[in-house]
Structure 1
Amino acid sequence: MTQIFSPVADTWLRLFLLGSAAVLVGGTVGIIGFARSAYITSTEVRPAQPVPFSHRHHAGELGIDCRYCHSGVETGPQAGLPPTETCMTCHSEIWTNSTMLAPVRQSLASNTPIQWTRVAKLPDYVFFRHDVHIAKGVGCVSCHGRIDKMALTYRENSFTMDFCLDCHRDPVPQLRPQDRIADMTWKPSADARAAGAAIAAHEGVRLGELTHCYVCHR
């Protein structure tokens, strides 16, 4: 009887199947890793801005509250960017001839807003409101990280669906008192879960509904 396959054919078949599985698994892992990389999520990227504004100096060293510049964060869906008049509240008195601040002075003189490059942004298909999160006890640092330490602003968190869902599944440990919303150095008590649960109950956080699709996609 003639043998159709050589004695090593079975070995080659096994190697082929093993190699195919390795390529499939490796390719899948690679695609997922690339999708979550800083290149795609834009984390750690410091985009060029018209003025090299330093949160580390203003929020960290000077202790300016986030809400002084981002005045819409408690009242609307967007935190908002400060109008030039807000900048000039201080800079009409200090650093008045700074070359670095020339775009600010020009903006005021021409009554034209400064065209900042957005750092924190979500896709258009995501429904998000700053005021709701602030009202329920989510602090600035939970999403934006220690922005008070950033010399140039960058996105610390990826703002992927996973990032949002991780909090929505169990927001209780993230919640803080209203008077600590913008406090970057605040630490919860020893029993953060009990304290957060009390805040969630007081603010009416509907814990069982936060992962429903319609919460973020409308």
Structure 2
Amino acid sequence: MILLALAAAMLGIGGWALVRSPWETQEGLAEHQPVPFSHKHHVGDSGIDCRYCHTSVETSARAGLPATHICMTCHSQLWTGAEVLAPVRQSMATGRPLVWHRVAQVPDYVYFNHSIHVARGVGCVECHGRIDKMPLTWRAKPFQMQFCLDCHLDPAPHLRPPQLVTQMEPLRWSEAEKRSYGERVMAAHRIDPKTLTNCEMCHR
């Protein structure tokens, strides 16, 4: 009987650990892409703002994936013959869009709106990690329910001025300053964790 109870406990602990492991959450996984796009080069080294490529992040539920003409704004002048950019040139010539594979995504039964998070000052780095240091894009966070709930239960420390949402470097604020600013934003916009943790907020 004791062995049976011990086996059941071990099975439960093992299952709990498995569903939170990187193998299940796909943290650190870099998806294969039609072009090995480097955020480190474009964002970290060249300083291109997230919104230049993700054009609908401030106005839509979806951040948007870059259209070929956005890539060609620069690459019609730079690295014009690079083999690695052949799919981009082919896309431009044929009119067939590149098929980018989403790295950060939530299940179909979860509603997430980028624009409201950006408008309230949730920095890109909160969910996407230090994208400016990624030579290939990988999933930085688990995107499981607990990850979202942790923020919705206590949004204040995660908020920053909206003009700084694409800044990757940590804000030079103390923890007290972060909380004070976040609480002011919450009061101004009537953000209540009780509303944010209502099931219907994300499951519609």
CA contact (8 A) 1:136 1:205 kept: no
Q: Which piece of structure 1 moves more, 199-208 or 48-57?
A: 199-208
CA contact (8 A) 1:180 1:186 kept: no
Is structure 2 residue 166 aligned with structure 1 residue 157? Answer: no
Aligned length: 202
Is structure 2 residue 42 aligned with structure 1 residue 58? Answer: yes
- Residues 128-167 of structure 1 correspond to what in structure 2 (within 5 A)? 128-167=112-151
**In the alignment, residue 211 of structure 1 is paired with which amino acid?**
T
Q: Which residue of 1 aligns with 2:180?
A: 194
- % of aligned pairs identical? 50
CA distance in 2, matches of 1:103, 1:163: 36
- Residues 1-218 of structure 1 correspond to what in structure 2 (within 5 A)? 17-187=1-171, 189-190=173-174, 191=176, 192-218=178-204
Look up the SS of the partner of 1:123 in the other structure.
coil
TM-score by length of 1: 0.90
**In the alignment, residue 202 of structure 1 is paired with which amino acid?**
A
TM-score by length of 2: 0.96
Q: Which residue of 2 aligns with 1:5?
A: none
CA distance in 1, matches of 2:181, 2:11: 44
Q: Which residue of 2 aligns with 1:13?
A: none
Q: Which residue of 2 aligns with 1:8?
A: none
1:93 CA drift (Å): 0.4
Could you list the runs of 5+ residues in structure 1 that have no partner in the other structure?
A: 1-16
1:39 CA drift (Å): 1.6
Q: Which has the larger radius of gyration?
A: 1
**In the alignment, residue 203 of structure 2 is paired with which amino acid?**
H
Q: Which piece of structure 1 moves more, 32-41 or 172-181?
A: 32-41
CA distance in 1, matches of 2:194, 2:11: 36
CA RMSD of aligned residues (A): 1.0
